[in-house]
Amino acid sequence: MLEIYAIPVSLYCAKLRILLRHKGLAWQEQPPPGGYGSDEYKQTVASGNLPALRDGDLLLADGEAIAEYLNDKHPDPAMLPDNIADRARIRERSRFHDTRLEPALRKLFPTLNPALRDVELAKTQSLELTTRLAQLAAMLADDLVAPDWPHSDLTLADCGFPITFAWIDALTPVMGLQVTWPDAVLAYRGIIETFPAVAAELDDYQPKLAAYLASL
């Protein structure tokens, strides 16, 4: 059985669980020994990254590497299209999430505690998130109207966005975010949230996220 080091509210751990659910893979999940960022955990995973995957003798601790490894090892259902250009576009979108959209959200994390709230930071990140969502909409525009849309099934690119969208929803009322959602992004969100793996993860994840935020 696959072994996963994860923590409940990590975006990237949830992203991996969507892939695992979609492929019907069994996994055993455990917290990082000593806690996230601990020296004890780094004795096992040198980078300290989460999630980390152990599959037999193989240890991986990069979310994209884990996703591509599992898709290669368990190709059904395929989460990358056959066409080379489409595969490249899927990878581009996945990296856009990890390097552009999610980091714009993550800048708010140091102020999750109500005592540390920063009104100006919330305004700044509202603008950045709005910009990133507009960029995503531009990336999605052609796909959403294509009759042979390559995302008729869930792809590797689609696993991270539902969780980041859920975080934006959760932080909007408590931080006073003013984020504009383009129609193309709302349409895309509506599509990916219908997949059972995404719906199941959101059902499990959102109450944990709400409890975490309430505990701060």
Dist CA 51 CA 62 (whole Å)? 7
pLDDT, position 152: 63
> What pLDDT, on a 0 to 100 scale, did the predictor assign at position 39?
96
pLDDT beyond 60 at 57: yes
pLDDT attached to residue 150: 47
N- to C-terminal Cα distance for the chain? 35
Who's near 150: CB < 8 A, 6+ residues apart?
81, 83, 86, 89, 90, 143
**Tens digits of residue pLDDT in 118-164:** 999 999 999 999 999 999 999 998 665 454 554 568 999 999 999 99
* 16-51 tens-digit pLDDT: 999 999 999 999 999 999 999 999 999 999 999 999
Please determine, looking at this structure, whether the domain spanning 84-215 carries the CATH number 1.10.3470: no
The structural architecture, per CATH, of the domain 2-73 is 3-Layer(aba) Sandwich (3.40)
Statement: residue 109 has pLDDT above 60:
yes
Instruction: Locate the domains of the chain by residue range.
Output: 2-73, 84-215
189, 165 Cβ separation under 8 angstroms: yes
The pTM for the full model equals 0.95
